[in-house]
Structure 1
Amino acid sequence: MEDISETELLQRIFPLLDTSGSALLGPGDDAAVIAAPDGRTVVTIDTQVQDQDFRLRWANGYETTGFDVGWKAGAQNLSDINAMGAEATAMVVSLTMPGKTPVGWVEGMARGLDTAIRELGGGACSVAGGDLSRGSEIVVTVTVLGHLAGRAPVLRSGAMPGDVVALAGTAGRAAAGFALLESGHGMDTLDEDQLALVKNQCRPLPPLWAGPAAAEAGASSMIDLSDGLVRDSGRVATASGVVVDLDLAAVDRLAAPLQSTAELLGANARDWALGGGEDHGLLVTFRADKELSEGFTRIGSIYAGEAGVTMNGDPLTITGWDHFAH
């Protein structure tokens, strides 16, 4: 990067990004102009920091590509818009990096961002602009705007006793992939299923169809599973003033595909399913009289009581991811 100018870099990456869609005015001016289809705008922001959220080279030898980071930066933010029952319309991206960062890595990041939007089902979302800066490490911050298409936003605070807890997407797979990356098991020693787990960590697959679908079906609450099933269920429990009781058999079904990897690493597959974050699945509650649509799996129930998370009525000690906790 230190061998080319900011202008030259922008000339390289703009052609790699879809800047159409809802952007009435895209990159090139001091700010973008974005359409707000129903007069309301949903906004989210998330950051990836080198050696905090990803490593350029992992313990098992895997080298994180710019494509990986671009994909994940897009996916995790699109997932937050999804969790409100909204649809993404535009994103802006801030990239800070050392001068020694290869230009090809940055081009790969742009491709990953654009590909994630298209392949995950980001619809009319366009990359409307952003910012470049120089720093001691790579930091990628993405802001995504969305619209509700005439629907009410689905909040964390709407769950009520008697509701069903459902999941769209996966839980625990990204945590298993993280454990493999941090292990001494090189990529050339992993089987097809384990390579898929690594991919779940590096390029998550949020079910972007599920948020609007759940909202249309009358979901009472929703949350993106970014920090783990227990921690994010706890956020719904606290916001709604209820008990989220997870079903042990359902959790074990989530853990079953992870069992052989857990045995390889001396880990507990159920712990990954309960506490592992970054799958970006969607946790949804529905009234009990609602039939679950295809793609949603029942994994628990809502009860009255002191806000918290249990499993088959028993308290859980797993907490999930926290940026600042030990």
Structure 2
Amino acid sequence: MTRPRPGTPPDDGDTVAAVGEFGVVDRVLARAGTAAAALVGPGDDAAVVRAPDARVVASTDVLVEGRHFRRDWSSAEDVGHKAAAANLADVAAMGAVPTALLVGLACPADTPLAWLEGVAVGMAAECAPHGAAVVGGDTVASAPDSSAVVLSVTVLGDLQGRTPVTRDGARPGDVVAVAGRLGWSACGWAVLRRGFTSPAAAVAAHRRPAPPYAAGPAAADAGATAMCDVSDGLLADAGHIAAASGAVLHLDRGTLASFVDPAGPLAQVAAALGGDPLAWVLTGGEDHAILATFPAAADLPAGFTRIGVVEDGVPGVMVDGVAAADVAEGLGESAGHVHF
């Protein structure tokens, strides 16, 4: 593993304070892209977005500097990609596709405008494959005693005629399956917090998650009974489905262990740090994999791996018969991300 060179935000003398609120808005929106569903885009009191399905999926995530990202760890474009990905994955986990984003920004007056433009470029790049883009938002100065940037992103989505897949539909006999990567972002965070930047693949996974967006609508089309994205960790998010559905999700440890390539980054970093890579697979968040349950007779969509079954019982998550909290404790972790 290699150490990073100290990094600071770019400073070209062009700050938020120097150009003012409307200058910030103009410069950032010039890089925001165009939403295919927008009838009225940025510039008015509100945007107008087509809703051909007559239902709108909506979700909001807040990213706080120092908690969700660090400017000395990630480029501005990285932060933009990550902010968009967290929201786009929530829409996918309902079985929908994204149409538009609204962004609220709080930042210090001396924030370089070039940094904010980089965030806009990253968000636009993450949204563009879906035809989505930022259509509006707001900017405000941070509190005088705060140096942190805060991004609040709201995403809108279109179900395209599908029934929304919620967390409360898992039933005994269903199959539990997951699409996407598990543990990679947590592994990358472990690398960065120790002052290193390699393996590059793990670090990149933390800086720019790669959610399997298409897996959400595909799961809905295949008859998924419950679904959510893995933002807080597999055990924690499986627990959300279990609690909402009033059922037990029994996960197979052997299958989950197969998510760790013995020659891959998770195994390499765990060996270097003296840990168990399975801890990241079970408890690491921010990969935004798609976790879903399906009727036993359903054909799993491409990209999904069966990892367990749903059974009757006191709602919760078990791994090879052991309660999730005990499994996490045995790995030296909590069962998932704790926000407060």
- The two structures share one fold, judged by TM-score above 0.5: yes
Q: Which residue of 2 aligns with 1:55?
A: 70
Matched residue SS, 2:36? coil
* Deviation of 1:104 (Å): 1.1
| Contact 2:248/2:311 (8 A) holds in 1 | yes
Aligned partner (choices 94, 108, 114) of residue 104 of structure 1: 114
Could you tell me whether the CA contact under 8 Å between 1:91 and 1:126 is conserved in 2?
yes
The residue aligned with 2:40 is 25
SS at match of 2:117: helix
Q: Give the CA deviation at 1:302.
A: 0.8
Residue equivalent to 1:180:
191
Deviation (angstroms), 1:54: 1.4
Q: CA deviation at 1:266?
A: 2.2
Distance 2:133 2:119 in 1: 15
TM-score (norm 2): 0.89
Distance in structure 2 (CA, Å) of the matches to 1:44 and 1:163: 27
- Kindly provide the CA deviation profile for residues 284-317 of structure 1, in whole angstroms up to 9, marking residues without a partner as x: 1111101212211111111111111111122222
Matching residue of 1:155? 166
Q: Do the aligned residues in 1 keep the contact of 2:185 with 2:202 (CA within 8 Å)? A: yes
The answer on whether the counterparts of 1:22 and 1:126 sit within 8 Å (CA) in structure 2 is no
Q: Which moved more, 1:92-101 or 1:41-50?
A: 92-101
Aligned: 1:169 with 2:177: no
3-state SS of 2:63 partner: strand
Q: Secondary structure at the match of 2:168?
A: helix
> What runs of 5+ residues in structure 1 fail to find an aligned partner?
58-62
> What do you get for the CA RMSD once the two structures are aligned?
1.2
Equivalent-residue separation in structure 2 for 1:239 and 1:143 (angstroms):
24
CA distance in 2, matches of 1:110, 1:50: 16
CA contact (8 A) 2:222 2:299 kept: no
Runs of 4+ in 1 over 6 A off after TM superposition: none
Judge which range, 263-272 or 78-87, deviates more.
263-272
Name the residue aligned to 1:60: none
* Residue of structure 2 equivalent to 1:132: 139
Instruction: Kindly state the Cα deviation for residue 7 of structure 1 after the two structures are TM-superposed.
Output: 2.0
Q: 1:95 aligns with which of 102, 105, 116?
A: 105
Distance in 2 between the 1:134 and 1:153 partners? 37
The corresponding residue for 1:200 is: 205
Residue 280 in structure 1 maps to residue 291 in structure 2? no
| Residue aligning to 1:250 | 255
**Percent identity of paired positions between Structure 1 and Structure 2:** 45
Say if 1:81 and 1:88, in contact at 8 Å, map to a contact too: yes
Distance of 2:21 and 2:62 partners within structure 1: 21
Of the structure 1 ranges 313-322 and 152-161, higher mean CA displacement relative to structure 2 is found in 313-322
Give the counterpart letter for 2:297 in structure 1: D
2:126 pairs with one of 112, 116, 137? 116
Query: Does residue 46 of structure 1 match 2:61?
Result: yes
Aligned to 1:320: 336
The structural deviation recorded for 1:9 is 2.1
Mapped contact 2:35–2:100 kept (Cα < 8 A): no
Please give the TM-score of this superposition, normalised by the length of structure 1: 0.92
Contact 2:86–2:288 (8 Å) recurs in 1: yes
Structure 2 partner of 1:271: 279
- Verify: 1:82 aligned to 2:92, yes or no: yes
3-state SS of the aligned residue for 1:40?
Answer: coil
Q: 1:221-232 alignment to 2 at 5 Å? A: 221-232=226-237
- Structure 1: how far apart are the matches of 2:133 and 2:248? 39
Q: Distance in 2 between matches of 1:267 and 1:117?
A: 36
Matching of residue 301 in structure 1 with residue 309 in structure 2? yes
Q: Which blocks of at least 5 consecutive residues in structure 2 are unaligned?
A: 1-14, 329-334
